[in-house]
Chains A and B, each alone.
Chain A
Amino acid sequence: MTQPTPMIEVEGAAKRFTLHQQGGTVLPVMTGARLAVHPGECVALTGPSGTGKSTLMRMIYGNYLAAEGSVKVAGFEFNGARARDISRLRRETLGYVSQFLRVVPRVPCLDVVAEPLGALGVAPEEARQRAAGLLMRLNVPEALWTLSPLTFSGGEQQRVNIARGFVHPYPALLLDEPTASLDQANRAVVLDLIREAKTRGAAIVGIFHDAEARAEVCDRECDVSGFAPEAPVPPASDQASPVPVLPVSG
């Protein structure tokens, strides 16, 4: 599929943490990040642990604020965006499979998976049917569908998370270790889901420690260690935050 503008586009993005509890120390973790992912493409974020793969992914999802630069999904600029516009982008366009399942306790598995569709106005019956289809494909036993996934094993929770992330055909998808803690059969199902998403034109950014999985579904790699800040910034020299710093002893 050819399209001139990327679905996911990061340009010159930097991330710094200002640690107010530690005398306002500024911790630069990323600078000059660049990434462009077109519809139908899957790009793997690579690099040793701690180099910022998850940081970059969170900047693309909008739960980390970029200190500078531009982060765009479907033409939507995160920098300076209103919270509710980000909410809408996530609801309609940008899916995210995180490593951890964060859901209201007691809500049945089937409803957890169907929820993103409900938020889009899909009728409950159809939403549940689509959710059931995915859970079946991901070999989550039907006997578990009425139970809260918080009681499930790690691998089962992972598959619930994946089902939730694939239940709506998001044009942009972020996958954080989608095949971790899965057996071979389920791993194959997830890789199929990723291939199908690419075929329908989704732009995907993924973190895969599983090198074989990465090789199977990813078109390119983006080594985030290239975005490491060159040298640490001296503490408290650059108070970018307009809020006053709490007095800290020492």
Chain B
Amino acid sequence: MSGAALAMAAEDRPLLTVKGLTKRYGARIGCADVSFGLWPGEVLGIVGESGSGKTTLLRCLAGELDADEGRVDYEGAQGLHDVLALSEPERRRLMRTEWALVHQNPRDGLRMGVSAGANVGERLMAVGWRHYGRIRETAADWLGRVEIDPGRIDERPAAFSGGMQQRLQIARNLVTAPRLVLMDEPTGGLDVSVQARLLDLIRGLVRDLGLSAIVVTHDLAVVRLLADRLIVMQGGHVVEQGLTDQVLDDPQAPYTQLLVSSVLRV
């Protein structure tokens, strides 16, 4: 980063800077040369059809996959991190404190064998909370925030519907007030009415907690309502990026035009 860039106002510094991120599966490309910035308070949508590389990109960011090339810089609460160079313990600490990953399938992001309260409380304990009463109180408060009856705090997630499990996963991830949330198809597989409730919830949390989010989805209606900016991926490459309504209303790339014209109405 140049001296001039460093001298800019703090709010003009990206939270996350991704440069040339590439992941290959043997000869096949997962994602190639992906670069973008994410600023505080911003929601970035990553769209594309299955196999476009959007989930690979997200998993590389989350450290679930090792990128082959590229660099990811994160402006953390305690300074700048070269994310891909973090040691495994450092990466895990980051993932349970300042970052959060919401999986498409809540079963991948929840511990199904323990209660809803423990699922939320666990993340608090991981960042050093020890007072049982306070942990339980905070967990109950978060269940309420994601519209799960706090009276069900001792039930296991298996007793919940898919939509409730997804909301529980969001509570578990957001209870430690992360600064960056990565979401993989957060509304996928849910009823339309539950999707709407979840969209409202995510929007409210982004606004109230001032967090930044990267949302991977194939659903253009979801990003229309949720994302400030869009990245369109095809075959592992970024083919277009820009302001959400500009990309959807005036798509420039052939693939984006095809994508936008393929949905019934966004």
Contact = CB atoms under 8 A, between A and B. Distances in A.
Interface of A: 17-21, 58, 62-65, 83-84, 86-87, 102-107, 118-119, 241, 243-246
Interface of B: 39, 42, 193, 196-197, 199-200, 203, 207, 224-225, 228-229, 239-243, 245-246, 249-250, 252-255, 257-258, 261
Contacts of A104: 196, 199-200, 203, 225
Given A63-B245, A102-B225, A106-B197, 20 more contacts: A20-B253, A20-B254, A20-B258, A21-B261, A62-B243, A63-B250, A65-B246, A83-B229, A84-B39, A86-B243, A87-B228, A105-B193, A105-B196, A105-B199, A105-B200, A107-B200, A118-B207, A119-B207, A241-B253, A243-B252
A70 B193 CA distance: 43
A156 B193 CA distance: 22
B257 A20 contact: yes
Given A104-B225, A105-B196, A243-B239, A21 B257 contact: yes
Given A18-B252, A20-B254, A243-B254, A83 B242 contact: yes
A102 B196 CA distance: 13
12 contacts: A17-B250, A20-B258, A21-B261, A63-B243, A64-B246, A65-B252, A87-B229, A102-B225, A104-B196, A105-B199, A106-B193, A243-B252
Nearest to B197: A106
Contacts of A58: 249-250
Contacts of A62: 243, 246
Contacts of B257: 19-21
Interface of A is mostly: loop
Contacts of A106: 193, 196-197, 200
**For the complex, would chain B's binding face be called helix, strand, loop or mixed by DSSP majority?**
helix
Contacts of A86: 243, 246
A102 B226 CA distance: 11
Contacts, number: 72
A90 to B, nearest CB: 9
A144 B118 CA distance: 39
B193 to A, nearest CB: 8
A249 B240 CA distance: 24
Contact of B250 (A65, A105, A246): A65
A65 B246 CA distance: 7
Contacts of A63: 243, 245-246, 249-250
A84 B228 contact: yes
A168 B93 CA distance: 42
B203 to A, nearest CB: 6
B177 to A, nearest CB: 19
Contacts of B258: 20-21, 246
B254 A246 contact: yes
Contacts of A241: 252-253
A245 B254 contact: yes
Nearest 5 A/B pairs, CB to CB:
A20-B254, A105-B196, A83-B243, A63-B245, A246-B254
Contacts of B245: 63
A106 B207 CA distance: 17
A58 B243 CA distance: 13
A86 B245 CA distance: 11
B239 A83 contact: no
B200 A243 contact: no
B163 to A, nearest CB: 13
A60 to B, nearest CB: 13
Contacts of A105: 193, 196, 199-200
Contacts of A84: 39, 42, 228-229
B196 A64 contact: no
Contacts of A20: 253-254, 257-258
